[in-house]
Amino acid sequence: MRSLVIFAATLTLAAGQLTPDEQAALQRISPDSLRGNLSFLSSDLLEGRATPSRGLDLAAEFIASRFRAAGLEPAGDDGYFQTAALTIREQNPSGFEMTVAAGGRAIKVPAAESSILTDKAISLENVPVIAADHEISADQAAGKVILWTGRGHRPNLPGSAVLVLFAASVFDPETRSSRAFFNTLASADAIALIKGAKDARMSLRVEASLEHSAKVRNVAGILRGSDPALRDTYVMLTAHYDHVGMRETGEDRIYNGANDDGSGTVSVIEIANALAAMNPRPKRSILFVTFFGEEIGLVGSRYYGRHPLEPLAKTVADLNLEQVGRTDDSEGPQQGTATLTGFDFSDVTKVLIEAGKLTGVKVYKNEKASDAYFARSDNQALADLGVPAHTLCVAFDYPDYHGVGDEWPKIDYANMAKIDRMVAAGLIELASDAAPPKWNEQNSAASKYAAAAKKLR
Ligand SMILES: [Zn+2]
């Protein structure tokens, strides 16, 4: 009789039902707790959590305190912290000169409107400069200065260029927070001159950059698995806790980053807290990590990739949460729905679709964003190393994206709790299934990740 009951229980689980204990775990995810944590994490006192900053350090300490309260095992090199030394570079102002010329006009660019980062002094005399908003060939770039005017600040540009500059607005938060890491030109006049002319040239004199170092931290905790065979394998749940900091002028100067990505961060905390109280715990170990430096080019997750806290070969999947709080998407309200980037890249998606059915959330493919946004968040750093990794998102594009109005009262907390319950159900399944998810080798866009996975294992 007993074995029959066990058989029946296994059957209902396979057909897609949560056990009472799993249901109880999901019910611990609370809208009020999410609101409470996010109202602190995105408060003005944390000054937009730029990498590096005191606000970022305060956020890290807060996340560690929540992991401690949940009873997670510390997984860093210093308790819950994985400490990285970051080299911050600044353009050397001494002797700086930049002139852009075209069609008989010449513009002298003030030092404050550029940021050129270099190991040794650069001296250019009348070098051709072209604007590019899409990837260009090595031949087209050879011997030229390239001014990148496309979206994002990490395009693949050939090394044959003399120098690559990013066109930036002085008030563009994304490029502002990146100025210590990317070459930027913020003179609107010079940018317009280069874009409007075919014969633009640049002369430049700049000394080697000034450098100082800063300590920044990923925050990591483990919920140790219960199965003797599977507990040494890991599922990751991640989000970035940094944002883009502050602007220099305006009544409201603080980019609070409540949705981007305070929402993902408090969701990681909430799900960790819910699953930590399960008895027995999920079979595999679950590694909860919040990253610094996403907004300056996936710096924290790349650092993790080079210094994994648990072996990547034993890390079966990473679910990365981004912008899961706002439901007022520019494409219309997004309640009870979530999507993953790289939707057809791996089996992870199927697990989340099933978790969605169990929790009343529609997990769908966003045709426009699925593949295009795969490289836009920290999942990319793990995918490059072979770990099946996706970013789960509710609203890609919302009114206050990278704006000072991205504040905690605008979050839909009831919906966020519902999404988090779905994510928790997916994590339980990923942590319970003996067969780890695989990359979809039939999809050419995923083949390089499948190859990386083979190398890893
Ligand atoms: Zn983000």
pLDDT in tens, 367-425: 999 999 999 899 999 999 999 999 999 998 899 998 999 999 999 999 999 999 999 99
What distance in angstroms lies between residue 394's CA and the mean position of ligand 1's atoms?
12
4 pLDDT above the threshold of 90: no
Ligand 1 centroid from CA 376, angstroms: 8
Note whether 249 and 402 are within 8 A (CB).
no
Report CA(414)–ligand 1 centroid distance (Å).
21
Cα-to-centroid distance, 255 and ligand 1 (Å): 12
Residue 336 CA to ligand 1 centre (angstroms): 20
Quote the CA–CA distance of 413 and 424 in Å, as a whole number: 16
Q: How far is the CA of 240 from the centre of ligand 1 (A)?
A: 7
Average pLDDT over residues 59-81: 98
Distance in Å, CA 262 to ligand 1 centroid: 9
**Position 13 pLDDT exceeds 80:** no
| Cα 74 off chain centre by | 22
CB 380 within 8 A of CB 298: yes
Gap between the Cα atoms of 33 and 417, Å rounded:
9
| 3 pLDDT higher than 90 | no
Tell me how far apart the alpha carbons of residues 191 and 180 are, in angstroms, rounded to a whole number. 20
| Contact criterion met (CB below 8 Å) for 283 and 230 | yes
CA of 321 to the centre of ligand 1 (A): 9
- Ligand 1 centroid–CA 295 distance in Å is 7
> Hey, what domains does the chain have and what are their CATH numbers?
19-88+214-456 (3.40.630.10), 92-208 (3.50.30.30)
* pLDDT on residue 154: 58
C-alpha 244 – ligand 1 centre gap (Å):
10
Q: How far is the CA of 305 from the centre of ligand 1 (A)?
A: 18
Ligand 1 centroid to residue 349 C-alpha, Å = 20
Cα angle 198, 201, 205; round to 5 = 160
pLDDT at 1: 40
pLDDT digits (tens, 9 = 90+) for 266-308: 999 999 999 999 999 999 999 999 999 999 889 999 999 999 9
Where does the pLDDT of residue 158 fall: very low under 50, low under 70, confident under 90, or very high at 90 and above?
A: confident
d(CA 335, ligand 1 centre) in Å: 20
101-157 pLDDT per residue, tens:
999 999 999 998 999 999 999 999 999 999 998 888 899 999 999 999 886 655 667
Confidence at residue 88, expressed as pLDDT on a 0 to 100 scale: 86
16 pLDDT band, cuts 50/70/90, is low
Tens-place pLDDT, residues 165-221: 988 877 677 677 777 788 999 999 999 999 999 899 999 999 999 998 999 999 999
The tens digit of pLDDT for each residue in 73-95 reads: 999 999 999 999 998 889 999 99
- Which segments of 91-209 are extended strands (E)? 97-102, 105-108, 114-115, 122-132, 145-148, 163-167, 184-185, 201-206
pLDDT value, residue 395: 93
Residue 326 C-alpha to ligand 1 middle, in angstroms? 13
pTM: 0.87
pLDDT for res 153: 55
Distance 177 CA to ligand 1 centre (A): 13
- Mean residue pLDDT across the chain: 92
Say how far apart CA 344 and CA 437 lie, in whole Å: 13
